[in-house]
């Protein structure tokens, strides 16, 4: 039996799955950011006409998926799998969203790496001919995430400069066996890394080693250099994580600086309250779907590597003094014209 694998961690696709549609829904602060006009839908209130932020997040996720389905021109009955994840306990935003659909559902938890996890698994399902269409969605909401991981925002505690601002954003994509759109060329599933960072207000430092390891493995497995990609897009390393990841990769002789952009540094104007940058599942989900998926469609980007990182701690593990394990998954995408 022939396996479609390269090197230690990378899967390649003889028939490349296609990302036929992508959609984003964001909150007010994200709408005012540099990418504001690119999002499909911007709310001017963080409650989205709901009675709680948790309900608002579910609504945002549902709307992102509805928009993606509409853009793909398909009905939910044609979708074989729905893969979704978010940051809340028991991934409630995703499961409550999935309750509104009649699609086989797989809930994912990869913290802020969820979009890449979903893209990777969705591509494998389609590439392995187990699905015709797979929907992938992921979201985060600033106020629900603060309540979950730190303190309720009503408490008004002081933020520290290394902390990152969880984005109120959702993104959804539709992966298909055929159609027009960027192709998924390869996926590299990461390994959990833990360099002993224990500060939950400094997740960039915790996640940088995972990013560096997955990028290094991907390039090794594919026998490529950073210059083979027009763009290496990370999820939410933030100012601090970006610097650390560059240094870690340089130690292995890889210089990605000229190709690398971080979604966490693209989403907002960098005001003091933002800290080291944006974060959350919705960060790369919305930045990719609103900015870079269209760039791939238009052929402005020929080949990109999407690498989302996630900090896999919980509030309990942090309170018990445990360090923060991190993960990064990479998905290589090529434009149709490439």
Partner 1 sequence: MTYIKAFVVGGVLCAIAQFILDITKVNPALIMVSFVSAGAILSGLGIYGPLVKLGGAGATIPLTGFGHTLVTGMLEDAAKMGWFGLLTGGLRAASSGLTAAILFGYLMAVLFNPKG
| Site for partner 1, rule CB under 8 A | 46-47, 53, 142-143, 146, 151-154, 157-158, 160, 199
CB of 165 to partner 1, least distance (A): 12
CB of 316 to partner 1, least distance (A): 15
CB of 199 to partner 1, least distance (A): 6
Beta pairing partners, 138: 85, 171
SS3 57: helix
Give yes or no for a contact between 28 and 45, defined as CB atoms under 8 angstroms apart. yes
* Beta-strand runs (E) in 58-161: 81-85, 105-108, 133-140
CB of 153 to partner 1, least distance (A): 4
Q: Which phi and psi angles does 303 have, rounded to 5°? A: -145, 130
CB of 154 to partner 1, least distance (A): 5
Nearer to partner 1 (CB atom), residue 130 or residue 151: 151
CB of 161 to partner 1, least distance (A): 9
Question: What does the radius of gyration of the chain's CA atoms come to, in whole angstroms?
Answer: 18
What is the C-alpha to C-alpha distance for residues 193 and 141, in angstroms, rounded to an integer? 26
SS3 161: coil
CB of 111 to partner 1, least distance (A): 20
Beta pairing partners, 100: none
**Among 121, 137, 82, which residue's Cα sits nearest to residue 288?**
137
Give yes or no for a contact between 175 and 116, defined as CB atoms under 8 angstroms apart. no
Nearer to partner 1 (CB atom), residue 53 or residue 211: 53
Q: Which phi and psi angles does 275 have, rounded to 5°? A: 70, -130
Nearer to partner 1 (CB atom), residue 90 or residue 158: 158
Nearer to partner 1 (CB atom), residue 2 or residue 154: 154
Nearer to partner 1 (CB atom), residue 41 or residue 47: 47
The enclosing H or E element of 309 equals strand 303-311
Nearer to partner 1 (CB atom), residue 30 or residue 146: 146
């Amino acid at each position: 039996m022939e396996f479609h694998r390269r090197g230690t961690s990378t899967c390649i696709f003889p028939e490349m799955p296609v990302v036929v549609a992508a959609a984003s829904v964001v909150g007010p602060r994200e709408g005012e950011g540099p990418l504001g006009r690119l999002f499909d839908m911007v709310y001017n209130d963080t409650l989205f006409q709901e009675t709680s932020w948790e309900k608002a997040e579910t609504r945002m996720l549902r709307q992102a998926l509805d928009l993606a389905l509409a853009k793909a021109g398909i009905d939910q009955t044609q979708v074989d799998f729905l893969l979704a994840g978010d940051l809340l306990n028991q991934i409630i935003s995703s499961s409550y969203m999935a309750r509104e659909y009649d699609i086989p559902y797989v809930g994912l938890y990869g913290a802020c790496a969820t979009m890449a996890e979903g893209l990777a698994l969705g591509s494998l399902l389609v590439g392995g001919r187990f699905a015709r269409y797979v929907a992938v969605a992921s979201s985060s909401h600033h106020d629900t995430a603060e309540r979950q991981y730190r303190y309720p925002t009503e408490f008004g505690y002081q933020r520290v400069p290394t902390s990152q601002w969880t984005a109120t954003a959702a993104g959804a994509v539709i992966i298909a066996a055929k159609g027009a759109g960027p192709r998924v060329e390869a996926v590299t599933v990461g390994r959990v890394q833990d360099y002993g960072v224990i500060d939950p207000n400094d997740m960039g430092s915790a996640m940088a080693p995972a990013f560096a390891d997955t990028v290094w493995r991907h390039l090794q497995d594919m026998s490529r250099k950073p210059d083979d990609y027009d763009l290496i897009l990370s999820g939410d390393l933030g100012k601090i994580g970006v610097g650390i990841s560059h240094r870690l990769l340089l130690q292995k002789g890889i210089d990605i600086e000229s190709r690398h952009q971080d979604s966490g540094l693209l989403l907002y104007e960098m005001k003091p309250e933002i800290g080291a940058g944006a974060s959350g599942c919705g960060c790369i989900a919305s930045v990719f779907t609103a900015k870079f998926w269209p760039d791939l469609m238009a052929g402005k980007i020929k080949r990109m590597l999407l690498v989302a990182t996630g900090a896999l701690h919980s509030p309990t593990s942090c309170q018990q003094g445990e360090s923060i394990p991190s993960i990064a998954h990479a998905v290589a995408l090529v434009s149709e014209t490439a």
